[in-house]
A and B are shown apart, each in its own frame.
Chain A
Amino acid sequence: MLKIEDLKVSYKSMEGDIEVLQGLDLEIQKGECLGLAGESGCGKTTVGLSITRLIPAHIIASISGRILFHGMDILSMDIEEVRRVRGKKISYVFQDPFTSLNPVLTIYRQIEECLKDHTDREARIAELLEGVGLSKIVGNKKVYPHELSGGMQQRVMIAMAIASNPELLILDEPTTALDVTSQNQILNLILELKNKMGLTILFITHNLKTIFRVSERIAIMYAGRIVEIAETDELKSKPAHPYTIGLIDSLPSLAHRKKRFNAIEGKAPSFLDMPVGCKFYPRCRFKLDRCRDVEPRLNWFSDNHASRCFRVEELIGHGIDKGP
């Protein structure tokens, strides 16, 4: 449904242009939920914003490549064409629902605004509110954003995003600002809507646990690159990139009792000061000398599993002791 080819994005900054994405390729299949995971500042939101052309023009130094949506290149569309797609066929839900809502308008009015062209608005709004489980609360039309909890606000954002029956829904950290219970309710809602409406979802997050629950496939990003792509179960059981292995080892769980985590040391590199070879080299447990000078390519070693690591065969063949 959506195919990103060789996407390059650079931002302007005081210290010169920053190349955040350097030729990113990614495909989203119809009907799937693809998880895009990585640490803050790794470029994952840039991917989402590029698809919807939402990056403010004045901070872009350059952008190139192709983003094909049903064969049409979003990047070469003029703004009128973009508007016919954005919000209608592709919707976006942001991390912080409170700043995305207008504080001085009622929730009802804001949902109504998304449905300007609709003839039977009242019925449609009722249906949307029912769909996200808010009929009882927002039904009286007089509720303002600050009167709702974070989880409810996020439900409103989702209702607005699906109002136009989009084909692709981009969720950018939709549960990060919420606590565990509301997080789970939102995830259940997303799964339910996906099944009911046949939505295709790009789920952007730094929280591996949430995408383990909702995504069929996962792409792991590091320093502006995709370092691993696999189906969720395979990624969990056979991670093939040292970064993914480190992330999985870093996950707290009920089973993990009072032990040190096998954590990834150090921090992600700055885009202004990138290592020459593999970008993960300084933090890697499995590094070789050549990783310092040469960056590995994304290697599709099976039909649906790729990793950007020279030692992929050893990692999946358990040739390397993954312990500390």
Chain B
Amino acid sequence: MELIKVHNLKKIFHRQRIVAVDNVSFSIFKGEIFGIMGESGCGKSTLAKSILRLIDPEDGMVLYKGENLLEASSPRMRALRKFLQIIFQDSYASLDPRATIGATLEEVFIIHDRLTKAQRRKKTEEILELVGLDRTFFKRLPFEISGGERQRVGIARALATDPEFIICDEPVSNLDISIQAQILNLLMDLQKRKNLTYLFISHDPDVISSICDRVAVMRRGKIIEMGLCEDLFNNPKDDYTKALLNT
């Protein structure tokens, strides 16, 4: 089933005169991990933000189960955000430095569900456990925990609404190798367990190959090559893709 369909999406930064996302089209199927690979500045994060309307694209369509997100009213969009989540690269910048981990996660339930305090607390503990953190994290602040643990909190926050689709924007590129492997394992486990669909963004072909089913290569706002990972990595057609893989 086609869960997300992006059609001729376009985002222009007028002041800088940059077409950051240039007529991008692709579909993501339910239960799939779809990779976007490209160098810094190629527009991959802008693409991610445009899909979720964290910034507003100029033109195109983003269909979630057939519904165009770019035309959704703001109450409708708020309701849909429950099913569409994102994990950011910089886990520290994306957490409120003065809120405890528990408060940050509970806030999700305040926004999206009508639960009692006790229910919220219980759900928060469940979600912490799901990402491999014990309940002592409830009272900790972001600066008191390691980068790998913070990224687990970022994953927990995305999972808290029980989403269907998660964008992972370079979720492991700031982490040490051993922690990176743990986080990739966690993302793969969760994907299987909850039948999630990911859009996984990375500049690293090795990481993409390790986790994704299909991949699109992005350069200067455009997708230049797309295919199954096995095919694309074994037999790249475009010269730019070849250069990325050979380096």
Residues of chain A at the chain B interface (Cβ within 8 Å):
39-40, 150, 179-185, 206-209, 246-247, 249-261, 263-265, 267
**CA of A247 to CA of B39, assembled, Å:** 25
**Cβ 8 A contact of A250, one of B178, B189, B243, B247:** B178
In the complex, what residue of chain B is closest to A262 when comparing beta carbons? Answer: B181
Whether the pair A257, B230 counts as a contact (CB closer than 8 A) is yes
Q: Does B8 contact A (CB under 8 A)?
A: no
Residues of chain B at the chain A interface (Cβ within 8 Å):
39-40, 146-149, 176-182, 184-185, 188-189, 203-207, 209-211, 213, 229-230, 233, 243-245, 247
CB distance from A45 to the nearest CB of B (A): 14
Nearest first, the 5 A-B pairs at minimum CB distance are A250-B181, A263-B181, A184-B247, A261-B181, A252-B210
Whether the pair B178, A180 counts as a contact (CB closer than 8 A) is no
**CA of A181 to CA of B204, assembled, Å:** 9
Instruction: Kindly name the residue among B146, B189, B213 whose own CB sees the greatest number of chain A CB atoms within 10 A.
Output: B146
Chain B positions within 8 Å of A208 at CB level: 177
**CA of A250 to CA of B179, assembled, Å:** 9
CB distance from B218 to the nearest CB of A (A): 13
In the complex, what residue of chain A is closest to B246 when comparing beta carbons? Answer: A184
**Cβ 8 A contact of B210, one of A206, A247, A253, A264:** A253
Chain A positions within 8 Å of B147 at CB level: 40
Chain B positions within 8 Å of A209 at CB level: 206
In the complex, what residue of chain B is closest to A259 when comparing beta carbons? Answer: B210
Chain A positions within 8 Å of B205 at CB level: 180, 254
**CA of A125 to CA of B148, assembled, Å:** 43
Told that A250-B178, A260-B189, A263-B178 touch, could you supply 4 new A-B pairs with CB distance under 8 A?
A: A181-B244, A208-B177, A252-B210, A257-B229
CB distance from B217 to the nearest CB of A (A): 12
**Cβ 8 A contact of A180, one of B146, B149, B180, B203:** B203
A-B contact pairs, 24 of them (CB 8 A): A40-B147, A40-B176, A179-B39, A179-B203, A180-B203, A180-B204, A180-B247, A181-B243, A181-B247, A184-B247, A206-B176, A206-B177, A250-B180, A250-B181, A251-B181, A251-B206, A252-B180, A252-B184, A252-B207, A257-B229, A260-B188, A260-B189, A263-B178, A267-B146
